[in-house]
Chain A
């Protein structure tokens, strides 16, 4: 199963190594996953820090229990404090 993964701001350093064909932009690339992978499993496998994050799948919020499907777009953004 192949999905699009986007990691924004400080999280972009956690994008896995990719050949040029898989890299979509500075913060997004195609990744291959076992069928049935959840958002939480992907986040754990990437080693993302345990900090607040905004998680969208296909442009809407998704819980970490969401089971990813072929072609979906997983995006993770790490907000920082201040307001």
Chain B
């Protein structure tokens, strides 16, 4: 006779309370690629109530080796494909999607009322721009950024630092993507995990890296 499924460790009241707190939080992410798509599913599984997702790209076949998309989603806007995948994990999650490029002109409109911002874009120029714009336009909102996650160097070199003020930085700080240092899903997901976990810690009131 089949045994009814039971969670191996029963959900404690404390854990339910923590998830309830996270259920009221809004997290903004720019970039739904290797960092953003993977950080997003971790945040949904952790119980974040609302994600505001922005990306102007379409899913490409070359994304599938490290991003949270599937072959039949090639050609779809990344925001739309990610919405489908995240809703399969938790149909109750609130998703606000912006299939557009984000800059200083539209940042505050898209990300008003967020509790925390995650920078998850590709280029150094866009990373610098987004950190500056968020710091200027949404003062006091914690910013989690990533720099240095390419190649096959040790995963243990990727750490979280409270760099300054409202800025936390994830990565080894130096491993730039290049032909010699391509992106591996394993190392990218380590960085995405750091971003998601630091977000959870900050939102629960534990800002120490």
**Residues in chain A within 8 A of chain B (CB atoms):** 6, 8-10, 51-56, 58-61, 73, 75, 77-83
Partner among B121, B136, B163, B175 whose Cβ is within 8 Å of the Cβ of A80: B175
In the complex, are the beta carbons of B132 and A54 less than 8 A apart? yes
B151, closest chain A residue (CB) = A82
Number of B residues with CB within 8 Å of any CB on chain A:
39
Q: B11 within 8 Å of A by Cβ?
A: no
Partner of B35, one of A6, A75, A83: A83
B contacts, CB < 8 Å to A? 31, 33-36, 120-125, 127-129, 131-133, 135-136, 139, 145-150, 163-167, 169, 173-177, 183, 188
Distance of A59 Cα from B177 Cα, bound (Å): 28
**Nearest B residue to A80, CB-CB:** B176
A79:B132 contact, CB within 8 angstroms: no
> Is the pair B132, A83 in contact by a Cβ cutoff of 8 Å?
no
Taking a contact as CB atoms under 8 Å apart, the answer to whether A9 and B174 are in contact is yes
Shortest beta-carbon contacts, A-B, top 3: A59-B165, A61-B135, A80-B176
Cα–Cα, bound, A82→B122 (Å) = 5
In the complex, chain A residues whose CB is within 8 Å of the CB of B175: 80, 82
The one of A10, A55, A59 that contacts B132, using a Cβ cutoff of 8 Å: A55
Q: What is the CA–CA distance of A56 and B36 in the complex, to the nearest angstrom?
A: 24
Contacts of A77 in B (CB 8 A): 147, 163, 169
Query: Is A60's CB under 8 angstroms from B165's CB?
Result: yes
User: 24 A-B residue contacts at CB 8 Å?
Assistant: A8-B163, A9-B148, A9-B174, A52-B127, A54-B131, A56-B164, A58-B165, A59-B167, A60-B135, A60-B139, A61-B131, A77-B147, A77-B169, A78-B124, A79-B128, A79-B131, A80-B174, A81-B122, A82-B122, A82-B146, A82-B177, A83-B34, A83-B35, A83-B121
